[in-house]
Amino acid sequence: MRARDSGMLKTFWSLLRSPVPPTERADLLLALVILFLFFLQVATGILLAFFYQPSPVTVADSVQLIMRDVDWGWVVRGLHHWSAHAILVLCGFQVLRILYLGTWRGRASSSWNLGLLVLLCAILLSYTGELLVWDQSAFWRITRALEQVESAPIVGTWVAHVLRGGEEVSATTLSRVFSVHSLLLPWVLWVLVVFEGWFFAQRLRVAKEARS
């Protein structure tokens, strides 16, 4: 069986071959821009990870190395930083646009819920990325954030302990923040984006059937 004849891949293949209704073109364009920025984040993040050292002793030197000594390192870091903010702005704009148009009800509710999760994941990616500079500001930000997490009922204490890596913020905390930022959240965001694309493809299929 060919890949395009099964499940989700068949839906995406049909989407690529079908004309996009005018009412859906703005959503498609916005989704493609966000997807491009996501891949830019992955590519620049991989390049930065070659030189970044998640240790309180060496983190400042590794950031300075990227900015001053690595060829085009400052450009790569700038692209990584500003593309993250661009994703936040575009996701926030899309949420406000859907609220304004009122298209979050009914059949679009699943896509709406996934969109909110994408926005939340993008916020967490941006927040954990800012912490990786591990200066005094980042240290106290993560300390206060974990205190807020710890105050949550039932699982708050356990989650804060896992993220902190002990009773106090330490080198282990930085290592875990780096792991969450570079390994966990990008995969979560990718899965959400894939499902968001699948729901969008379903909307286009329904619109196509309605016109025929």
At 69 the pLDDT is 94
Query: Is the predicted pLDDT of residue 81 greater than 70, yes or no?
Result: yes
Task: State how far the Cα of 160 lies from the Cα of 151, in Å rounded to an integer.
Answer: 9
At 3 the pLDDT is 45
Task: State how far the Cα of 197 lies from the Cα of 10, in Å rounded to an integer.
Answer: 13
More confident residue, 98 or 103: 98
Q: Helices 7-17 and 185-211 meet at what angle, rounded to 10?
A: 60
Task: State how far the Cα of 88 lies from the Cα of 55, in Å rounded to an integer.
Answer: 28
Q: In the predicted model, what is the mean pLDDT of residues 58-82?
A: 95
**Does residue 13 form part of some domain?**
no
**Does residue 106 form part of some domain?**
yes
More confident residue, 96 or 62: 62
The domain total for the chain is 1
**Does residue 78 form part of some domain?**
yes
What's the whole-number average pLDDT of the chain?
85
At 4 the pLDDT is 45
Task: State how far the Cα of 80 lies from the Cα of 39, in Å rounded to an integer.
Answer: 10
Q: Which residue's entry shows tokens 């993250």?
A: 84
More confident residue, 111 or 47: 47
CATH code of residue 123: 1.20.810.10
Range of the domain at 97: 24-133+181-211
**Does residue 193 form part of some domain?**
yes
pTM of the prediction? 0.84
At 1 the pLDDT is 41
Q: What percentage of the chain has pLDDT greater than the value 90?
A: 58
